[in-house]
Structures are given as C-alpha cells and as structure tokens.
Amino acid sequence: MQSVDRSVGWKSFTIVEADGRVHEGADRFLALHDGSGTQRTYAYCLVDHLRWCVREGLAPGRVTLRDLERYMGAVGAKIPGPLGVPWRVGKRPYGDSALSTAAACLKGFYLEQAKSGVNRALAEELDRSRLPTRADRRRRLLGHVTGRVAANPLAPQRVRRRHPKMLPEGAKEKLLPVLTYARDRLVVQWLADGGLRIGELCGLHLADLHLRSDAACGECRSPHVHVCRRHDNPNDALAKGRVPWSVEDGTVIGGLIKRVSPAMVHAYFDYIVGERRTVAAGHELLLVQLAGPGIGQAWAPAAARGMLRRAGRRAGLGRVRPHMFRHSFATAVLEASGGNLVVAREAGGWASTAMVDEIYAHVDLHDLAFDAALRTVWGQR
C-alpha cells in the first residue's frame, strides 16, 4: 500500500505491485473513496486480499465466490469446508466489525472490476438484494417505501453488540493523579466528559473552542466545541463526521457541536496557561508535543493512545483505550436520560438512534425498574 500526498491537503492511498506498477483495478476502486478515511481502511483490506490471491495463484478474472468465501474464512469468518493453507499466521483473526468491512471492500472491488469487463460472472453472484428490515427503513429517507436493499453474500451474520467494553468504575479518578502533564489530564477529562473520539480531540483547533456562554457563533448558548473534519491537519487527525462547517468573520460555524462541562473548561485553562503557552507551536491545533525532539509539533492520536495505555498500567487499570471513554459516556448519558435515545445520539454525535439502541440500550436484569415491571406483569404488586 502506498500513500500519496495531495495538493489539496489530504492523503490518498493506492496499491503498488511487486514490480513498482500501480495496480490499476485497485486504484480505480480506491479512487471512488478519495479523501475519506474509508479509502485507507479499504486499502489495508484490499492489499491483504490481493496478497492472498498471489499466494493462491488467482488472477482477478479467475476468482470465484467460493474463493472469496475461503479468503473470508482465512481471516476469521466461520465458513463450512476447508480453508486451504493457513493465512496471516500468528496474527489475530478479524472481529465482526473488521469482517463486515472486508466483505464490503471485496464486493465493491469486484463490482468495480466487472465494469471494466473483468469477472462479470462473479459480480452477478455478489450483486444480490434482500427485503429491508425495520432498521433499514429507519436509516433511509422514505424508508417506508423501500422494497429491496443491497445484500452481501460475504458479510458475516450480524451480531447484536451488547455491553461494550467500558472503563472500570472510577477509572477517571484513578488516572488523573498518575498523569504528569496538564495536557494529559485534559485528554482524560475531555474524553470522559465529552464522549469525543480520539481523532476528533486531536484534530481540534483553538478556533473550534467556544468555551464561554453565548459565543459569537450563536449556535449554542452554553460552552461548546465545533468538531470539524479537516484533511490538512499536520498530525493526520481526522474527525469521522462530515457535518458541513465554515469560518465566517473569523468564527467557526457548523460542524458537530458538542457541549463541554465546567471540568473540561478548567482542564483547558490549566493546560493553556501552564504548558501550551510556553511551547512555540507553528500550528493552531489544541494538543502539542511538550518534550523531545518534536516539541511544539501537533500531538498525534497514536501518541495519545500510548499515553493512555501507559497511564492505565500505572493506575492499575490494565490497558486503557480511548474508545472506552466513549462507551462509558454513552451508557451514562443513556441511563441519566431515562433511556432517551435522541438525547444520547446528540450527546455522542451518532448519525442515528439505531446505533445507540443496538449497542447501548440494554437493561440491567437486577435494575429496580426492571424488577418492578416484571412483578407488575406477574401480578405481585
């Protein structure tokens, strides 16, 4: 896989063969996703599949649906029959999410190949449809009139994800004392209270922070931040959402608006006054490196993940990942709002309530309200 710096400020990804030539089929397919995080993910999936094809002696025009099923089995899917020679020896198999991504990538790649006349028979087998589910209808505009939706024969059976891995009880309070820098305490506080993704946090610019009431943007009366998707961040941090944003008279307008807590504001001022102001930074990103040869440079998401991993071990919490904060935040908001999916969706910045419902809207079997409801049905009260 090869990355290409674009003049417009973002990176594109393509696949290069062993002799240095660009793989034309892969390049055409990846170009459909230019400028998005999906392109990079698909490039990683596709290069692994193409290497497997080389090992199996399969040209794109000779690949069959059974071959694709064997590949999915080789990377972790449950399929009937032999898989052939082991693949990715010593590496962990893909999880459900990665398998779904790989299935979507392979289907898209071979459908695009068929447009050029390559392996049309395989494309016909992949180009299937099914009846829509209730969730499909909710996600679509005019979903109530939808008759058929696309299906993927390679996709694993959908598993309803419940009880995601969250932070241990009191994790924030245990992490903060073991952190040396105010910047690191800001990261923990903002992840815990804001439910931000790590790419969103590391991609924040100072202009995105409207931490006073009645800010000039006029879009939220309370202190808040604007999460804006930028492709030219020097640390390659990229927000997931695609909410339009702009700068009007020096004020950021639009983007994903997220409210901030008083503790987040205090952590910000501790960091700005005590650390960031003393570092000469040639950029406007919020988080900067505070030591080492790269002092003053934009702090990358990978560095933030490493900091949390080390802090978790010092605090006796084991490995701490940034997304654990988001899981804990969403669950806490859902419980505090009485199960209001719309409130949880807006607080976390999800595109639909279906995602919140599927992952977080579970009930504690020992909850008093759950127990009372059952006893009422049983006629015991």
Task: Note the pLDDT tens digit of each residue in 69-112.
Answer: 999 999 999 888 877 788 988 898 998 889 999 999 999 999 99
Q: Work out the mean pLDDT of the chain and round it to a whole number.
A: 88
pLDDT at 344: 83
Closest CA to 306 of 290, 294, 321: 321
User: How many other C-beta atoms are found inside a 10 Å radius of the C-beta of residue 125?
Assistant: 14
The share of the chain scoring above pLDDT 90, in percent, equals: 59
Nearest by Cα to 310 from 301, 300, 320? 320
Note the pLDDT of residue 129.
Answer: 84
pLDDT for position 185: 97
Between CA 360 and CA 342, with CA 197 as vertex, the angle to 5 degrees is 40
**pLDDT(125) > 90:** yes
DSSP letter string over 175-216? HGGG--SHHHHHHHHHHHHH---HHHHHT-BGGGEE-SSS-T
User: Tens of pLDDT along 2-20?
Assistant: 887 776 667 788 999 988 8
249 falls in which pLDDT band (50, 70, 90)? very high
> pTM above 0.85?
no
CB atoms within 10 A of CB 281: 17
Asked if 22 and 14 touch (Cβ cutoff 8 Å), the reply is yes
**Residue-level pLDDT at 364:** 60
**Which is higher by pLDDT, 348 or 306?**
306
**Rg from Cα positions in the chain:** 24
Q: How far apart are the first and last CA of the chain?
A: 65
Please determine, for residue 361, whether its predicted confidence score (pLDDT) is greater than 80: no
| Secondary structure of residue 259 in the 3-state scheme | strand
Higher-confidence residue of 135 and 126: namely: 126
Q: Which is higher by pLDDT, 159 or 324? A: 324
The pLDDT, as a whole number, for residue 34 is: 80
Would you state the pLDDT for residue 142? 65
Work out the pLDDT band at 162, boundaries 50, 70, 90: low
Is the pLDDT reported for residue 159 higher than 80? no
* Predicted confidence band of residue 44 (pLDDT cuts 50, 70, 90): very high
Q: Report pLDDT for 143.
A: 65
Identify the pLDDT of residue 270.
Answer: 96
**pLDDT band (50, 70, 90) for residue 337:** confident
pLDDT band per the 50, 70, 90 thresholds, residue 276: very high
Of the ranges 11-25, 145-159, 191-205, which one carries the lowest mean pLDDT score? 145-159
